[in-house]
């Protein structure tokens, strides 16, 4: 029986994360393999047929972005119909009556050109395209192909237009309320859901520092009205860098921009608490409210946090891994089960973590690796939230380690046999035992998937093999990885820090919000709700 999920992506940075996520999904397919995939791809994908009777397998996905944000990607895609050549179109008007205006040229980078070349397309996964220098929008590194109904463009606003920025919560609300947008978008949601045999809920990826926060809130309210019994898991994503401000006048504007972001975040978190089943903020910036703050550090990873192409890849790797629990075959665990485990006492906000890559030596085993592990097992990727080791509810997923690497065989066991962990017979048992020793009063749920994370092109080449440059001669194609979702008192600290920042702001000074229908009383109510949510994370409430 199916257990389908519909994914929605709203906003440009969310689509950066989504592009990596769908690339990872595509590269995890195993065609004609003697070792079938552990992952049930039908959860996130749908089968279709083109007009030429060709079978397709595309993401069950709806995404939204602004005008001029798609790069060379056609709005309807090219999977079902070829891109029309305007020069060959027949028109019925007289030639002298026609005025031709050329739009901005959409030049494809080398990666995208090779994808369209029947010969080169078979080689793209093994080539290095130096995408750091050629990626401007998320479609520049998109390997996956979409269904024609996937992409929705907001016609009223242009990407990176400083004169009419799409930057405040009410603007997103207003776009949703336009009849053309809301009817078209909700029709697409309904069409996807009607195709499903056993639809279980939604994954949301959304920008939450700009007007897409308002659009997402309106969409969530619609979903809660129409599909109240379905689970809704929201991943608000925050960039890890904003444009540098040098000029003194621009610095003044930057302070205002920072405040606008905080207001958008407060309003959207309040709505996520009201209309989602659970939300998990994501960023590789350690602070994330007015400014992202210093980037998170990962061993054996040298990434440029100012590049959305890099930072979004880390978030996508985490997302793909932490959602495996309700996407693996031969499991009855659902999205609803995940949410039920982590939202006790109305704790709807959770945190996420990652260890990328999970460091295990080629000639080592998991027991030796964990026995010699120094420091935290994972790094938080939720802003203003440093995860502790006590009183947590957490789901941990480890992927990419085979059972034969569990421990030394009896003929080579040595001193390992003296360790309690040597009695473990599976990776799941051993990791669960390790967590029971290293966390206090914590409920741990462990998932193990043996297939690693594929990091072939177009995934960034930012891995560092213990300081060496081996990857230049031996490209890394897959990695073991650990990721998790956590709920504990530290999430209350995150909410308190956002509440503190938002409380400093006088909403009446920001006309963009008041003219959009958000007055002082609305903002005060929002702050009160955030404070109430924060109180749910007091230790004396639970565990």
| pLDDT tens-digit series, residues 468-494 | 334 445 678 999 999 999 999 999 999
Q: Is residue 92 part of a domain?
A: no
Q: What is the pLDDT of residue 466?
A: 42
Domain count, the chain: 3
Residue 467: pLDDT band (50, 70, 90) is very low
pLDDT for residue 318 is more than 70: yes
Q: Is residue 396 part of a domain?
A: yes
Q: Is residue 465 part of a domain?
A: yes
Beta strand residue intervals within 301-375, DSSP E: 351-355
Q: What is the pLDDT of residue 468?
A: 37
CB 483 within 8 A of CB 355: yes
Mean pLDDT on 145-156: 95
Q: 286 with 301, same domain?
A: yes
Helix%, strand%, coil% for the chain, nearest 5: 40, 15, 45
Cis peptide before 333 (omega within 30 of 0): no
Q: 34 with 54, same domain?
A: yes
Q: 386 with 473, same domain?
A: yes
Q: Is residue 158 part of a domain?
A: yes
Q: What are phi and psi of 45, to 5 degrees?
A: -120, 160
Distance CA 9, CA 216 (A): 9
Q: 129 with 46, same domain?
A: yes
Residue 525 is classified by DSSP as: H
Q: 391 with 311, same domain?
A: no
pLDDT for residue 538 is more than 90: no
**Residue 92, CB-side half-sphere exposure with 13 Å CA sphere:** 0
Q: SS3 sequence, 117-162?
A: CCCHHHCHHHCCCCHHHCCCCHHHHCCCCCCCCCEEEEEEEECCCC
Last residue in a domain, options 313, 344, 375: 344
Mean pLDDT on 63-79: 88
Q: What is the pLDDT of residue 91?
A: 53
Q: Answer positive or negative: Cα dihedral of 147, 48, 29, 481.
A: positive
Q: 444 with 331, same domain?
A: no
The residue assigned the tokens 């659902």 is: 334
| pLDDT tens-digit series, residues 157-177 | 999 998 999 999 999 999 999
**Over the chain, what is the mean pLDDT?**
91
Mean pLDDT on 140-155: 95
CB-CB neighbours of 543 under 10 Å: 15
Q: Is residue 98 part of a domain?
A: no
CB 446 within 8 A of CB 398: yes
Which tops the pLDDT comparison, 179 or 91? Answer: 179
Q: Is residue 87 part of a domain?
A: no
Q: 424 with 529, same domain?
A: no
| pLDDT tens-digit series, residues 386-429 | 998 888 899 999 999 999 999 999 999 999 999 999 999 999 99
Q: 323 with 388, same domain?
A: no
Last residue in a domain, options 468, 486, 504: 486
Please spell the DSSP secondary structure of 36-104, one letter per residue: --SB-GGGTEEEEE-TT--EEEEE-EEEEEEET-STT--TT-SSSSPPP-GGG---SS-GGG-------
Q: Is residue 101 part of a domain?
A: no
Model pTM score: 0.93
Q: 243 with 367, same domain?
A: no
Last residue in a domain, options 289, 313, 344: 344
pLDDT for residue 137 is more than 80: yes
pLDDT for residue 262 is more than 70: yes
Q: What is the pLDDT of residue 469?
A: 39
Q: What is the pLDDT of residue 491?
A: 96
Q: 411 with 316, same domain?
A: no
Q: What is the pLDDT of residue 471?
A: 43
pLDDT for residue 369 is more than 50: yes
Mean pLDDT on 229-233: 97
Query: Strands 5-10, 61-67: parallel, antiparallel or unpaired by DSSP?
Result: parallel
- Nearest 5°: the CA angle 425, 428, 431 is 100
The residue assigned the tokens 């669960």 is: 432
269-303 in b/e form (b: 16+ CB < 10 A) is: bbbbbebbbbbbbbbbbbebbbebeebbebeebeb
**Per mean pLDDT, which range of 33-37, 297-301, 339-343 is the poorest?**
33-37
Give me the CATH number covering residue 76.
3.40.50.1440
Domain of 174? 5-80+108-344
Q: Is residue 349 part of a domain?
A: no
Q: What is the pLDDT of residue 114?
A: 96
Q: 528 with 398, same domain?
A: no
Highest mean pLDDT among 49-58, 79-88, 418-427, 461-470: 418-427
The candidate with the shortest Cα–Cα distance to 380, out of 309, 305, 291, 318, is 318
| Joined tokens for residue 331 | 């499991």
Q: 339 with 458, same domain?
A: no
């Amino acid at each position: 029986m199916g257990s389908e999920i519909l994914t929605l992506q709203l906003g440009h940075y969310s689509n950066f994360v989504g592009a990596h996520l769908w690339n990872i999904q595509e590269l995890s397919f195993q065609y004609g393999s003697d070792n079938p995939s552990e992952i049930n791809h039908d959860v996130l994908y749908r089968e279709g047929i083109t007009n030429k009777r060709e079978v397709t397998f595309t993401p069950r996905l709806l995404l939204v972005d602004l005008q001029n944000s798609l790069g060379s990607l056609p709005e309807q895609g090219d999977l079902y119909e070829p891109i029309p050549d305007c020069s060959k179109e027949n028109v019925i008007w007289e030639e002298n009556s026609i005025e031709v205006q050329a739009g901005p040229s959409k030049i494809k980078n080398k990666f995208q050109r090779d994808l369209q070349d029947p010969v080169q397309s078979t080689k793209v996964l093994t080539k290095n395209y130096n995408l750091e220098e050629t990626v401007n929008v998320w479609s520049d590194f998109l390997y996956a192909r979409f269904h024609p109904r996937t992409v929705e463009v907001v016609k009223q606003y242009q990407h990176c237009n400083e004169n009419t920025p799409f930057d405040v919560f009410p603007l997103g609300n207003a776009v949703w309320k336009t009849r053309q947008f809301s009817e078209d978008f909700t029709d697409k949601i309904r069409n996807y859901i009607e195709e499903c045999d056993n639809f279980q809920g939604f994954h949301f990826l959304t920008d939450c520092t700009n007007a897409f926060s308002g659009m997402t809130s309106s969409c969530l309210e619609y979903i809660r009205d129409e599909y109240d019994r379905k689970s809704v898991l929201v991943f608000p994503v925050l960039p890890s860098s904003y444009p540098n401000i040098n000029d003194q006048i621009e610095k003044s504007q930057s302070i205002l921009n920072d405040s606008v972001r905080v207001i958008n975040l407060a309003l959207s978190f309040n709505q996520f608490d009201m209309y989602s089943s659970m939300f998990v903020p994501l960023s590789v910036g350690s602070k994330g409210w007015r400014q992202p703050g210093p980037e998170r550090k990962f061993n054996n990873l040298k990434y440029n946090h100012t590049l959305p192409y890099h930072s979004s890849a880390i978030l996508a790797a985490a997302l793909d891994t932490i959602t495996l629990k309700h996407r693996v075959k031969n499991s009855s665990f659902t999205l609803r089960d995940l949410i039920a485990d982590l939202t006790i006492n109305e704790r709807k906000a959770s945190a996420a973590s990652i260890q990328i890559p999970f460091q295990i030596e080629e000639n080592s085993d998991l027991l030796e690796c964990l026995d010699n592990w120094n420091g935290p097992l994972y790094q938080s990727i939720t802003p203003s939230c440093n995860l502790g080791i006590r009183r947590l509810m957490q789901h941990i997923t480890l992927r990419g380690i085979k059972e034969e690497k569990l421990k030394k065989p009896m003929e080579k066991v040595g001193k390992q046999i003296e360790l309690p962990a040597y009695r473990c017979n599976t990776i799941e048992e051993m990791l669960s035992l390790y967590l029971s020793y290293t966390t206090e009063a914590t409920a741990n749920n462990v998932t193990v998937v043996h297939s690693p994370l594929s990091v072939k092109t177009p995934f960034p080449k930012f891995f560092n093999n213990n300081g060496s440059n081996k990857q230049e001669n031996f490209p890394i194609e897959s990695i073991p990885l650990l990721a998790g979702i956590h709920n504990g008192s530290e999430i209350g600290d995150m909410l308190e820090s956002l509440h503190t920042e938002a409380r400093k702001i006088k909403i009446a000074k920001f006309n963009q919000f008041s003219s959009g229908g958000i007055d002082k009383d609305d903002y005060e109510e929002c702050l009160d709700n955030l404070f109430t949510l924060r109180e749910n994370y007091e230790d004396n409430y639970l565990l």
